[in-house]
Structure 1
């Protein structure tokens, strides 16, 4: 690793964020001393957790000196009043300043919101004091939209967020192929979309667990993709970390890609992900001394 690439890798890793569910808050508390103050903690909207659990998680994250980013799942929100109540409590009780909007996985919406754009259009976010609104990016494509539709929707959402005085941010699903992510970033910036991007990175976990989450989340996991990630499809009993993926991603990033940082999904647990981050930082520092 060259000195320049070592510095780039360290800066990339130091800007990381983490995805932590409400039920994993005890593990986050146990490891909080190892996490840089102000790190963004994304709190997913899980069907098995209610608003009280998500709000308690946001309060915990804030109390630890970290930045909570709760998800809002449009199709699972029963009414505009419920949305307004949740946002007001998140801002008032946990100092929430940013959130991630997703459509959600229900075929039929539980209330008036069919997609994340409809949440933006309520005006509730900016009136409550939300400053940053994240939306999803899809380097591997979207199952329900063509490529042209996918770009149009992303552009419209970012423009709507900005028009309402908030800052857009784009968070991608995790991936196994850095070339696909880099190509998507090239296309994103070529379209003039310069907002910060958080690239989903799977934390170290057993190979079988990684494959299970890939199937659940619709992430491409062909034998060729896994080989580029460093996983042999014939050896599924071990664990895998994102070293190859992150090295390739960092090596392909340039100033033209603008602000890009890693967003870790700690599938194998928070402590192993933090262990990996510490080891990667050490390797990056060593690389700058070569």
Structure 2
């Protein structure tokens, strides 16, 4: 959710299980008060806030400390998501999320778990070599500080690159929980707009596999097929046993991008879970 989504959270609260992690973004057009108020609202409603810390949007170390201090006062520093952020030029001393992590400040303000970004289909502006090196460096730094790490990925339409990427993460000795990003139900045009922005594969074959067609952009698409197929692939490898190549995927969970709104995503997740039981 964004800082402006508190009314949407209030609308969706009865459809979201207690204790659910809800990420709170760090957008350039929202201020400190709005971000902290949103994180506090998440906490007050019985969920676990995961505030984003956008490295390139921080103008100074003092601004980072002020944000962490306010979040701590709101009881919202147990889990955070540290990202590089969108600005091409950093607004302060932090070039990327690794710069924030290695300050050591997160521990000082009660942080226990840090989510870091993963890109199964790469990043349009960052080479794969740089992405892998950054993931390894951040994972190592968090481990050395005694902080739990979770890898939260960009969303995808195709399970094949996701599974291949998970295999590569594990091959590098990184055993953290991976939360695979997937959009909740949303308008097809909106989904494709985000896909283009983030460099996500969306050709005719891929989106058909996901569950919609490029010839009809007026409807809504949900992640039913993607989640079902991903679950089946992970379950099949688990049954194959640890001695089978590619079977050791470790802990893998989901993270929903609520492009269509918190309530629509929460209702989808509840109905999907009910249908599987």
Q: Same fold (TM over 0.5)?
A: yes
Deviation at 1:193, TM superposition (A): 0.8
* Alignment deviations for residues 88-131 of structure 1 (CA, whole Å, 9 cap, x no partner): 11012233211111111111111101100100111110111100
5 Å-filtered alignment, 1:29-108, equals 29-108=10-89
After the TM superposition, which of the residue ranges 138-147 and 199-208 deviates more from structure 2?
A: 138-147
Q: TM-score, normalised by structure 1?
A: 0.88
Alignment match, 2:135? 154
5 Å-filtered alignment, 1:1-290, equals 20-253=1-234, 254-255=237-238, 256-285=248-277
Which secondary structure state, in structure 2, belongs to the residue aligned with residue 169 of structure 1? Answer: strand
Which secondary structure state, in structure 2, belongs to the residue aligned with residue 100 of structure 1? Answer: strand
Measure, in 2, the Cα distance between the counterparts of 1:188 and 1:117: 18
Which secondary structure state, in structure 2, belongs to the residue aligned with residue 172 of structure 1? Answer: strand
Measure, in 1, the Cα distance between the counterparts of 2:181 and 2:165: 13
Deviation at 1:36, TM superposition (A): 1.2
Measure, in 1, the Cα distance between the counterparts of 2:123 and 2:8: 33
After the TM superposition, which of the residue ranges 45-54 and 57-66 deviates more from structure 2?
A: 45-54
Q: Using a 3 Å threshold, how does the CA distance of structure 1 residues 51 and 138 change in structure 2: closer, same or farther?
A: same
**Contact 1:58 1:96 (8 Å CA) reproduced:** no
After the TM superposition, which of the residue ranges 62-71 and 24-33 deviates more from structure 2?
A: 24-33
Measure, in 1, the Cα distance between the counterparts of 2:127 and 2:258: 30
What stretches of structure 1 move > 6 A for 4+ residues in a row? none
After the TM superposition, which of the residue ranges 170-179 and 27-36 deviates more from structure 2?
A: 27-36
**Contact 1:55 1:94 (8 Å CA) reproduced:** no
- Higher-helix-fraction structure: 1
Unaligned runs of 5+ in 1: 1-19, 286-290
Deviation at 1:147, TM superposition (A): 2.6
Measure, in 1, the Cα distance between the counterparts of 2:68 and 2:200: 30
Per chain length, whose mean CA-contact separation is higher, i.e. which structure has more relative contact order (CA < 8 Å, sep 6+)? Answer: 1
Alignment match, 1:12? none
Deviation at 1:80, TM superposition (A): 0.1
Deviation at 1:242, TM superposition (A): 0.5
